[in-house]
Amino acid sequence: MRPKLEDVAKRANVSKTTVSRVLNNRGYLSQKTIDKVNQAIEELNYQPNVVARQLYNKKTNIIGLLFPTVANPFFGELVEALEKKLYEDGYKVLIGNSMNNTKKESDYLNQLLSEQVDGLIVGTHNQGIQEYKYQNLPIVAIDRVMNEDIPVIESDNYQGGRFATKELIEQGAKNIIHTNGPSELETPAKRRRIAYEETMKEHDLIPNTITLDFNIPYQEKKKIFYDLFETYPDVDGIFASNDMDAALILQVAKEKRIRVPEDLLLVGYDGTLMTRSILPDLTTIIQPIDEMAEMAIDILMKRINKKETEKEYILPVKIWRGKTSKKDSYK
């Protein structure tokens, strides 16, 4: 009887998906696994089904989207914009929420690869995932540096950081704190911190950045903000790295009877439509979500069609001036 794919998988003690990936040279696999599969193929004299392989390599019109969580307004609106534009272009999408979990991201990535997606658009924050080193699959990153080969779509984080910090300074704040993600994370968003620190020094002010991990539970983060006001009682301005943190800071300030903007000036970051609808008084930096989605898809299509692309694409930001950054706004 002619050996089948499952016979090879059983002999090599791997899954059928792994055998298929070896046969079609798709996805990241260790050399040890590749050697085991090839040895099993040779021992069984397995002959791949040519028709099946042609079907395997056929364009699927499926794009994988991998982001931390669509529960976050920024990622939720970004994924919505990507899905809408891809659907209009004749593509279906498979979406994975990594929840900042490295294992979950690896699992999703392997699943997307096994589903024969034509390309990936990713915006997760995990590091050291080996599968991304496989460079035959077109990948575009949004606001994340992955490797030298994968182009990055981003808003102008540095300019956004300057806008936010200058807004606070010009409205009279001097003891300004900036909240930001881990400094070791390879993401263009760290330029917000650089811009904040440089702008503070330009005005002879002392920068103070507080680092927050992405995986901090809500109650723990709330306690950090409570402690912030206890540790720095003179703080009169905060530049939050995202609007979710800014909203939580507003809540903590209200509970501690710190008046915004009379006692504390506040600027957030992201400026999603949802945030501006629910918290119209929050001053924030608006990232151009629709333009970022359009650019990501355009660059991914170029990668799929083997066209040259740049390493980095930076889109302009603008400031939404609410009442939280104006001390005279309630006069």
Rounded to an integer, what distance in angstroms lies between the CA atom of residue 179 and that of residue 235?
13
Average pLDDT of the chain? Answer: 87
pLDDT greater than 50 at residue 293:
yes
pLDDT of residue 224: 95
pTM of the model: 0.79
CA distance 253 to 247: 10
**Sequence letter at residue 170:** E
Q: What is the mean pLDDT of residues 194-219?
A: 93
Single-letter amino acid, residue 68: P
Q: For residue range 226-283, what is the model confidence (pLDDT) as tens digits? A: 999 999 999 999 999 999 999 999 999 999 999 999 999 999 999 999 999 999 999 9
Retrieve residue 102's tokens. 């490295």
Asked if residue 239 lies in contact with residue 267, where contact means CB atoms within 8 angstroms, the answer is yes
pLDDT at 68: 85
Out of 6-10, 28-32, 82-86, 137-141, pick the least confident.
28-32
